[in-house]
Structure 1
Amino acid sequence: MDPRRVLVFRTVARAGSLSAAARELGWTQPAVSQQLQRLEHEVGGPLVLRSTRGVTLTDAGRLLLGRADALAGELHMAGEELAALAQLRGGRVRLVSYPSAVATIVPEALRLFRAGHPAVDVSLAEAEPPEAATAVREGTADLALVFAYDGAPADDGALTWLPLTREPVELVLPPDHPAASRSRLSLASLADDTWIAGCPRCSQHLVERCREAGFEPRVTHATDDYVAVQALVAAGLGVTMLPQSALTAFRHPEVVVRSSRTLGSRHVGLAYRPGAEQVPATAALMEQLIRTTARR
């Protein structure tokens, strides 16, 4: 099986059509179609079903795509190793991060990294942890800055987890809330309040913590924008929980923040494919993220 044709097939599968794959590769559509047909001949059957709306993977195509993603990831790491033969003179790192880290940890880390390694190209994309981890698995990203509540993310065996830090979760209240002036605050005392939920993982954590305190939270508003969450709280529309980094990235002047050990913590770390830490450019960015996080 020709690995070059496997990579062409991967581009077709990810792009969703022959024409889109041709544009991405800089080829003509007949050239892409010819390579795909030859690969299908090699494997003994169709890998995609063609239609005017694009392509759909067959069972064989779905099976091969997983191997093609792994191949693309390995080839990318090999390219990075060769590009950075001496003192990181070249190379590229693709980082994906969750939103509040993009606003707090990442800018300082990338500033310092660029100062130390100006020849290394770093790209950044924002995504929630599940999507970020998927990007690393599929070979479209090298590092994912992700989080999980009250422990490391579930281990699927495909990625390595490197813990960076742990941050507390805080209660966020309207300024005129009866509990805003209390020095000690129990979660159970907020059982009758209206709650504002965040991203799916944050919402799940909120519900679990409230249940542990003995009540089911009445969630009436939900948004994964931590600025919008605080605006809703400031308007008196409910109370919420937010991790410390979200409040560091933006703190609404009209909310009150209270700490409580019962709210748990958020674990922050890096997810990457095994072996990525041996690629010089990737390893250097990992080290910079470790140092930047340690100083916060």
Structure 2
Amino acid sequence: MHLEPGQLRLLALIDRHGSLSAAAGALGITAAAVTQQVARVERACGAPLVRRGPRGASLTAAGALLAAHGQVIDEQTRQAGAGLAALLGELSLRLRIGGFQAAALRLLPPALTALRHRHPDADLSVVDIGSEEGIPLVAAGDLDLAVIAAWDEVPTPPEHVRLHPLLTDPMVVVLPDDHPLAAGTGPLRLERLRDEAWVTIIAGHAARAQFDRVTAAAGFTPRVRFQTASYDVAQALVGTGIGVALVSRLTLGLAPGTVHRELARRGLHRRIYAATLADTTLTPLVDAFLHLLRDVARDLQ
């Protein structure tokens, strides 16, 4: 014997409304279709389930037993619909954001301020992440949007994640303010820094790989005096006179005793992207925030 949920729900409706025609109206089908379905389930059960009379229809003991299960299905269906509506309402207001430090300082605050003005009921959260964490966190559903940086190679996300270019962030050289090249004007050629001591990003990072590539192309092996994972630390160390450093323009701070110069070499930059799910239907604030991020990025170019 094979019973379908729809058949149990039909019997529950007949029991609730007391007639085949009323059950048909509740289902949006004809009374003839209900009659056919009742006959089909009675054949499957091998027992009468519905008594028809001049005042409507009632259920046999077997029909009443099955209708009780149909009522449970109806209630679970109602609860499922209500739960889904509540979830969709929560998702429509939710935005979970991740970003690396410079993005959290320069890109995210203006966009978040604008979003809160437009959507004051938004449920926002922001977490500090490394760029290499962004795509996996979005792919796993732990973040709705991640701002990440890439150097020489563009990341390849899984099919259900999309990268949105935001801006190109050029590298600049930071010098002690008493350095002979500090007072110069115009772009500085990297070759002029071949004899300097350097503060660099730690080996193994994508930023360091780019630095090693461009210095090799410029014809020298840099003398690395200090390594750090932070552009802020690098600028602070340059201020002590320990060496010079390449940092992204977006990370330029107010480290005492430093100045910066633009570089003449092309291709020395990082690209900044927003990573989101390819389908943002359930989280409409992602698209709204992405539009605001693009506005902020355009102002920073």
TM range (shorter): 0.5 to 0.7
Q: Report the equivalent of 1:267.
A: 271
Partner of 1:132: helix, strand, or coil? helix
Deviates more, 1:120-129 or 1:183-192: 183-192
1:291 aligns with 2:299: no
Aligned-residue offset at 1:262: 0.9
Matches of 2:256 and 2:188 in 1, distance apart?
Answer: 21
Uncovered stretches (5+) of structure 2, i.e. residues with no partner = 1-83
How many equivalent pairs are there?
A: 213
Partner of 1:197: helix, strand, or coil? strand
1:190 aligns with 2:193: yes
Instruction: Judge conservation of contact 1:151–1:267 (CA < 8 Å) in 2.
Output: no
Aligned-residue offset at 1:155: 4.6
Instruction: Judge conservation of contact 2:88–2:282 (CA < 8 Å) in 1.
Output: no
Normalising by structure 1, we get a TM-score of: 0.66
Instruction: Judge conservation of contact 1:163–1:267 (CA < 8 Å) in 2.
Output: yes
Aligned-residue offset at 1:153: 2.9
Matches of 1:217 and 1:79 in 2, distance apart?
Answer: 60
Matches of 1:121 and 1:216 in 2, distance apart?
Answer: 50
Aligned-residue offset at 1:168: 1.6
Matches of 1:110 and 1:244 in 2, distance apart?
Answer: 22
Question: Radius of gyration: which is bigger?
Answer: 2
Q: How does 1:132-281 map to 2 (within 5 A)?
A: 132-150=134-152, 152-183=154-185, 184-198=187-201, 200-247=205-252, 250-262=253-265, 264-276=268-280, 279-281=283-285
Aligned-residue offset at 1:261: 3.0
Matches of 2:240 and 2:206 in 1, distance apart?
Answer: 24
Matches of 1:79 and 1:145 in 2, distance apart?
Answer: 30
Aligned-residue offset at 1:234: 0.7
Matches of 1:229 and 1:79 in 2, distance apart?
Answer: 50
Uncovered stretches (5+) of structure 1, i.e. residues with no partner = 1-77
Summarize the Cα distance change of 1:205–1:251 in structure 2 as closer, same or farther, 3 Å threshold: farther
1:282 aligns with 2:286: yes
Amino acid at match of 1:144: A
Aligned-residue offset at 1:220: 2.5
Aligned-residue offset at 1:158: 4.9
Instruction: Judge conservation of contact 1:145–1:269 (CA < 8 Å) in 2.
Output: yes
Q: Report the equivalent of 1:82.
A: 88
Deviates more, 1:264-273 or 1:93-102: 264-273
Query: Deviations along 1:168-199, whole A, 9 cap, x unmatched?
Result: 21011112222223335321121122211136
Matches of 1:79 and 1:146 in 2, distance apart?
Answer: 33
Matches of 2:277 and 2:86 in 1, distance apart?
Answer: 14
Amino acid at match of 2:249: Q
Instruction: Judge conservation of contact 2:152–2:206 (CA < 8 Å) in 1.
Output: no
Normalising by structure 2, we get a TM-score of: 0.65
Summarize the Cα distance change of 1:82–1:156 in structure 2 as closer, same or farther, 3 Å threshold: closer
Instruction: Judge conservation of contact 1:147–1:153 (CA < 8 Å) in 2.
Output: no
Matches of 1:231 and 1:79 in 2, distance apart?
Answer: 52
Amino acid at match of 1:140: D
Partner of 2:224: helix, strand, or coil? strand
| Cα RMSD (Å) | 2.4
Instruction: Judge conservation of contact 2:93–2:285 (CA < 8 Å) in 1.
Output: yes
Q: Report the equivalent of 1:113.
A: 115
Query: Deviations along 1:72-107, whole A, 9 cap, x unmatched?
Result: xxxxxx8898217xxx9x521111101011111111
Matches of 1:179 and 1:92 in 2, distance apart?
Answer: 50
Query: Deviations along 1:130-153, whole A, 9 cap, x unmatched?
Result: 112221122111111011125633
Aligned-residue offset at 1:277: 6.3
Q: Aligned residues: percent identity?
A: 29
Deviates more, 1:203-212 or 1:227-236: 203-212
Amino acid at match of 1:192: D
Summarize the Cα distance change of 1:80–1:228 in structure 2 as closer, same or farther, 3 Å threshold: farther
Instruction: Judge conservation of contact 2:197–2:244 (CA < 8 Å) in 1.
Output: yes
Q: How does 1:54-65 map to 2 (within 5 A)?
A: none
Aligned-residue offset at 1:242: 0.8
Matches of 1:293 and 1:254 in 2, distance apart?
Answer: 28
Aligned-residue offset at 1:295: 2.5
Aligned-residue offset at 1:253: 3.4
Matches of 1:210 and 1:231 in 2, distance apart?
Answer: 22
